[in-house]
Amino acid sequence: MLALALFSWWYTTAWKGVAARLTERLDRTLGFFSVGLLFRTLFDPFRQIAAGQVRGGLDAKFRAFADRTFSRFVGAFMRTLFILIGLASALGIFIFGIIQMIVWPLIPLLPLIAVIGILQGWTL
Protein backbone atom coordinates (compact mmCIF):
# COMPACT_ATOMS: atom_id res chain seq x y z
CA MET A 1 0.00 0.00 0.00
CA LEU A 2 2.85 2.36 0.80
CA ALA A 3 4.44 1.72 -2.59
CA LEU A 4 1.17 2.55 -4.33
CA ALA A 5 0.80 5.77 -2.33
CA LEU A 6 4.39 6.76 -3.14
CA PHE A 7 3.84 5.93 -6.82
CA SER A 8 0.63 7.98 -6.85
CA TRP A 9 2.32 10.93 -5.13
CA TRP A 10 5.38 10.80 -7.41
CA TYR A 11 3.41 10.97 -10.64
CA THR A 12 0.73 13.48 -9.55
CA THR A 13 1.40 15.84 -6.65
CA ALA A 14 5.19 15.84 -6.79
CA TRP A 15 5.29 16.25 -10.56
CA LYS A 16 2.93 19.23 -10.31
CA GLY A 17 5.19 20.62 -7.60
CA VAL A 18 8.20 20.39 -9.91
CA ALA A 19 6.27 22.32 -12.58
CA ALA A 20 5.16 24.92 -10.01
CA ARG A 21 8.74 25.41 -8.81
CA LEU A 22 9.89 25.88 -12.41
CA THR A 23 7.30 28.62 -12.90
CA GLU A 24 8.30 30.20 -9.60
CA ARG A 25 12.02 30.17 -10.52
CA LEU A 26 11.26 31.80 -13.87
CA ASP A 27 9.17 34.52 -12.21
CA ARG A 28 11.89 35.20 -9.63
CA THR A 29 14.60 35.37 -12.30
CA LEU A 30 12.64 37.78 -14.50
CA GLY A 31 11.78 39.81 -11.41
CA PHE A 32 15.40 39.88 -10.25
CA PHE A 33 16.54 41.32 -13.56
CA SER A 34 13.42 43.56 -13.76
CA VAL A 35 13.00 42.67 -17.42
CA GLY A 36 9.52 44.23 -17.69
CA LEU A 37 10.64 47.49 -16.09
CA LEU A 38 13.76 47.62 -18.26
CA PHE A 39 11.62 47.21 -21.39
CA ARG A 40 9.31 50.04 -20.29
CA THR A 41 12.20 52.41 -19.53
CA LEU A 42 14.49 51.33 -22.36
CA PHE A 43 15.19 54.83 -23.74
CA ASP A 44 15.11 56.75 -20.47
CA PRO A 45 18.29 58.67 -19.61
CA PHE A 46 20.89 56.65 -17.74
CA ARG A 47 21.54 58.03 -14.24
CA GLN A 48 20.95 61.60 -15.30
CA ILE A 49 19.67 63.69 -12.43
CA ALA A 50 18.90 66.96 -14.22
CA ALA A 51 17.11 66.53 -17.54
CA GLY A 52 14.80 69.53 -17.39
CA GLN A 53 14.83 72.90 -19.17
CA VAL A 54 18.18 74.54 -19.79
CA ARG A 55 18.61 78.29 -19.59
CA GLY A 56 21.22 79.99 -21.68
CA GLY A 57 22.31 80.36 -25.24
CA LEU A 58 21.90 78.03 -28.17
CA ASP A 59 25.23 76.31 -27.46
CA ALA A 60 24.15 75.48 -23.86
CA LYS A 61 20.85 74.08 -25.12
CA PHE A 62 22.62 72.05 -27.80
CA ARG A 63 25.12 70.71 -25.25
CA ALA A 64 22.25 69.71 -22.92
CA PHE A 65 20.46 68.04 -25.83
CA ALA A 66 23.64 66.14 -26.76
CA ASP A 67 24.16 65.12 -23.12
CA ARG A 68 20.59 63.84 -22.81
CA THR A 69 20.84 61.99 -26.14
CA PHE A 70 24.13 60.38 -25.16
CA SER A 71 22.66 59.46 -21.78
CA ARG A 72 19.67 57.83 -23.50
CA PHE A 73 21.95 55.77 -25.76
CA VAL A 74 24.02 54.64 -22.79
CA GLY A 75 20.81 53.81 -20.92
CA ALA A 76 19.43 51.86 -23.87
CA PHE A 77 22.69 49.94 -24.21
CA MET A 78 22.91 49.07 -20.50
CA ARG A 79 19.24 48.14 -20.25
CA THR A 80 19.45 46.00 -23.39
CA LEU A 81 22.48 44.25 -21.93
CA PHE A 82 20.66 43.49 -18.68
CA ILE A 83 17.53 42.39 -20.55
CA LEU A 84 19.61 39.94 -22.61
CA ILE A 85 21.36 38.61 -19.50
CA GLY A 86 18.00 38.20 -17.74
CA LEU A 87 16.40 36.46 -20.71
CA ALA A 88 19.43 34.17 -21.12
CA SER A 89 19.22 33.26 -17.43
CA ALA A 90 15.49 32.60 -17.73
CA LEU A 91 16.09 30.47 -20.83
CA GLY A 92 18.72 28.42 -18.99
CA ILE A 93 16.36 27.89 -16.06
CA PHE A 94 13.56 26.97 -18.47
CA ILE A 95 15.70 24.40 -20.32
CA PHE A 96 16.91 22.90 -17.04
CA GLY A 97 13.32 22.76 -15.79
CA ILE A 98 12.07 21.03 -18.95
CA ILE A 99 14.85 18.45 -18.64
CA GLN A 100 13.88 17.99 -15.01
CA MET A 101 10.22 17.51 -16.00
CA ILE A 102 11.22 14.90 -18.60
CA VAL A 103 13.59 13.01 -16.26
CA TRP A 104 11.24 13.13 -13.24
CA PRO A 105 9.03 10.17 -14.25
CA LEU A 106 12.14 8.10 -15.11
CA ILE A 107 13.84 8.44 -11.71
CA PRO A 108 11.94 5.54 -10.08
CA LEU A 109 13.16 3.31 -12.91
CA LEU A 110 16.85 4.02 -12.23
CA PRO A 111 17.35 1.13 -9.75
CA LEU A 112 15.84 -1.27 -12.28
CA ILE A 113 18.06 0.13 -15.04
CA ALA A 114 21.10 -0.23 -12.75
CA VAL A 115 20.29 -3.87 -11.97
CA ILE A 116 19.84 -4.67 -15.67
CA GLY A 117 23.11 -2.89 -16.42
CA ILE A 118 24.98 -4.81 -13.75
CA LEU A 119 23.56 -8.12 -15.00
CA GLN A 120 24.68 -7.30 -18.53
CA GLY A 121 28.21 -6.40 -17.40
CA TRP A 122 28.07 -2.62 -17.44
CA THR A 123 30.29 -0.96 -14.89
CA LEU A 124 29.11 1.78 -12.60
Tens-place pLDDT, residues 49-59 = 555 677 778 88
Average pLDDT in the 59-79 region? 87
For the cut 90, the answer to whether the pLDDT of residue 122 exceeds it is no
* Verdict on whether the full-model pTM lies above 0.85: no
Question: Is 70 inside any structural domain?
Answer: yes
46 pLDDT more than 80: no
The answer to whether residue 113 sits within a structural domain is yes
Whether 28 is covered by a domain: the verdict is no
Task: Give me the pLDDT at residue 50, please.
Answer: 58
> Which residue segment(s) compose the domain that 70 sits in?
48-124
What's the number of domains the chain is made of? 1
pLDDT higher than 80, residue 68: yes
- pLDDT value of residue 6: 85
Does any domain span residue 95?
A: yes
Domain contains 37: no
Domain-located, residue 102: yes
59 to 50, 56, 64, 65, 69: CA distances (angstroms)? 17, 8, 9, 10, 15
The pLDDT of residue 42 is 87
51 near 118, Cβ under 8 Å?
no
The lowest-confidence range among 5-19, 20-34, 88-102 is 5-19
Residue 21 lies in a domain: no
Position 5 in a domain: no
Q: Is the pLDDT of residue 118 over 80?
A: yes
